[in-house]
Amino acid sequence: MFGMGTLLLLIMVWTVIARLFSISTPYQMELTKTFHIWLVFVGSSLLISLDANPRVEIFYDKVLRSKNVTFKKCYLTLVQLLTLFFVALCFFEGIKQVPAYLKQTTTYLRYSVIWTNGAAVFGFGLMSFRCVLKIMGYWCGLDLNPTTENDDDVPLTGTVAEDKTGGGEE
């Protein structure tokens, strides 16, 4: 995560310097585009793993406060399945385009377009894998439950959490 932020910062600094001093080159534009595309798709995969993917927060908050663990698991699984459907569709469409990407090269640096457009295929593949891991985590008891600020939330494992002093009820 630190590397992605550093790369994004370098791209932004170089772009600002290039604009201020009018030293924009076509090479810089191609590299900036490539790095930006990679950051978007690999970053999207990271968002899925951190449970930060877009969702309707009104329902999500109500579900997390629910005492019914099975309902909570079903809802979170449905959200991940919908995400997985969209992401897998994009992944397989991207795979179909790979032969066309292999034949094309960029205008100035002359590297294969697969290095730029392949980021989408790679990112969607990672997102699909992370969605499957999340679903398995919900139903197999792995510690993948979403983090919340509310102490009254019931965990996905169905166990009652101990109080903060470490003791049980008196």
pLDDT greater at residue 113 or residue 152:
113
Q: Look at residue 2 in the predicted model and tell me its pLDDT.
A: 67
Task: Give CA–CA dist 28/18, Å, rounded.
Answer: 9
Q: Look at residue 169 in the predicted model and tell me its pLDDT.
A: 47
Q: Look at residue 168 in the predicted model and tell me its pLDDT.
A: 46
| 38: pLDDT strictly greater than 60 | yes
- Per mean pLDDT, which of 17-26, 28-37, 96-105 is the most reliable? 96-105
Average pLDDT rounded to a whole number, residues 26-52? 83
Helical spans, DSSP H, in 21-113 = 26-49, 57-65, 69-103
86-93 long-range contacts, Cβ below 8 Å, gap at least 24?
A: 87/124, 87/127, 87/128, 87/131, 88/124, 88/128, 90/120, 90/124, 91/121, 91/124, 91/125, 91/127, 91/128
| pLDDT tens figures, 145-167 | 455 444 444 555 544 444 444 44
